[in-house]
Amino acid sequence: MKKVGIYAKKNHPDVEKIVFDIRDRLNRDDITVLLEDSVAELIGQVNGFSGDEIPDLVDLVIVLGGDGTLISVARQIGERRVPIVGVNLGRLGFLTEITRDELPGMLDRLVTGEYKISERMMLDSFIYRNGQQIGKYTVLNDIVINKGALARIIDMDASIDGRHLCTYKADGLIIATPTGSTGYSLAAGGPIIFPEINSLLISPICPHMLTNRPVVVWSRSVINIEVKFQDDVVFFTADGQVGRKLLPGDRVEVRRSESRTLLVRSPSKDYFEILRTKLSWGER
């Protein structure tokens, strides 16, 4: 490891000190640290790099913040297979599982190469209008089709590998990776899927038919959703961060991406401990 990039949620009060500490520690082993533009500006450094540029220049990135910050960086890295160290500056995250107190020890392990990586599946999603592709989004967590605040129930035809699944009449639909199963899908009543299982999860949001339940399908499945009817605005969102408006007749295609997110794991936690902590399992 010769070069490390740093991204951060810059409105945290301690980010500046943490960035200096990381840089000082890594520089002692002749590791060059590249800062994303907003981080460089925060600490008064003029030679920052764009978020899209850094993955081509480094061997590993460190993300300071929460799960949302890490998800955004994962999309920027895309297919470049650069490992991500997620450092949570608040409460323990599902993805940013390394705490601030654990960071010094993790930096030592990064220098010596004594760390493990969890490979996470991503999704490619395509939006088609009148037979023409008008958008492509790669996500780590999920894509969501949902109604505007005043819209009525949406009608959506769903198919898997060209075979009709059903017509959902619901407030919306979530298609999630196993990593994303603990996000919006979980709030909508979907199951938790172990993150390294290759599968896709389809979860309706407030379905009109109570028999419409979440469905888990093979990761190689190709899912198509066509918006059939709407009274008002319907939105497509990718990882809850970017997206666009959909029109009647628009088709959303979702399939497993060739890109994978590589997460450096905390040496002191396993996935089930994170679930117990985040979801308060066993507490009264």
Q: What is the pLDDT of residues 13-65, one digit of tens each?
A: 889 999 999 999 999 999 999 999 999 998 888 789 999 999 999 999 999 99
Distance CA 98, CA 138 (A): 25
Listed range (4-18, 20-34, 116-130) with the worst mean pLDDT: 4-18
**pLDDT of 151 above 70:** no
Residues ≥6 apart with Cβ < 8 Å to 231: 151, 152
**HSE (side-chain half, CA atoms, 13 Å) at 196:** 9
Coil, helix or strand at residue 252: strand
| Alpha-carbon dihedral sign for residues 231, 236, 241, 242 | negative
Amino acid 105: pLDDT: 94
- Considering the candidates 21, 67, 142, 231, report the single residue annotated as catalytic: 67
How many other C-beta atoms can be found within 10 angstroms of the C-beta atom of residue 116? 10
- Confidence band of 123 (pLDDT split at 50, 70, 90): very high
More confident residue, 182 or 90: 182
More confident residue, 268 or 73: 73
Query: Left if phi > 0, otherwise alpha if psi is -120 to 50, otherwise beta: which for 65?
Result: left
Amino acid 87: pLDDT: 95
| Whole-number CA gyration radius for the chain | 20
Domain annotation for the chain: domains and CATH numbers: 3-116+265-279 (3.40.50.10330), 122-259 (2.60.200.30)
**DSSP-assigned letter for residue 280:** T
203 in Cβ contact with 174 (< 8 Å): yes
Q: Give the model confidence (pLDDT) of 208-255 as tens digits.
A: 888 889 999 999 999 999 998 666 789 999 999 999 999 999 999 999
Distance CA 206, CA 270 (A): 32
Distance CA 93, CA 82 (A): 20
Q: Per-residue DSSP letters for 166-205?
A: EEEEESEEEEE-TGGGGTHHHHTTPPP--TTS-EEEEEEE
- Confidence band of 86 (pLDDT split at 50, 70, 90): very high
Listed range (110-124, 154-168, 192-206, 269-283) with the worst mean pLDDT: 269-283
Amino acid 207: pLDDT: 92
**pLDDT of 263 above 80:** yes
Amino acid 150: pLDDT: 66
Mean pLDDT of the residues in the chain: 92
Amino acid 171: pLDDT: 92
Residues ≥6 apart with Cβ < 8 Å to 93: 66, 67, 70, 86, 278
Distance CA 258, CA 170 (A): 30
- Confidence band of 163 (pLDDT split at 50, 70, 90): very high
Amino acid 90: pLDDT: 79
Pick from 160, 141, 3, 151: which is nearest to 68 by CA?
A: 141
Distance CA 68, CA 140 (A): 11
Q: Per-residue DSSP letters for 213-235?
A: --EEEETT--EEEEEEE-SS-EE
Amino acid 209: pLDDT: 83
Interior CA angle at 51 toward 145 and 255, to 5°?
35
Amino acid 228: pLDDT: 86
**pLDDT of 67 above 90:** yes
Active site residue 67: yes
Q: What phi, psi does 226 have (nearest 5°)?
A: -115, 125
Amino acid 206: pLDDT: 92
Distance CA 186, CA 194 (A): 13
**pLDDT of 70 above 90:** yes
Per-residue pLDDT averaged across 89-118, rounded?
Answer: 90
Cut 0.75: pTM above it: yes
How many other C-beta atoms can be found within 10 angstroms of the C-beta atom of residue 221? 16
Amino acid 164: pLDDT: 96
**pLDDT of 104 above 70:** yes
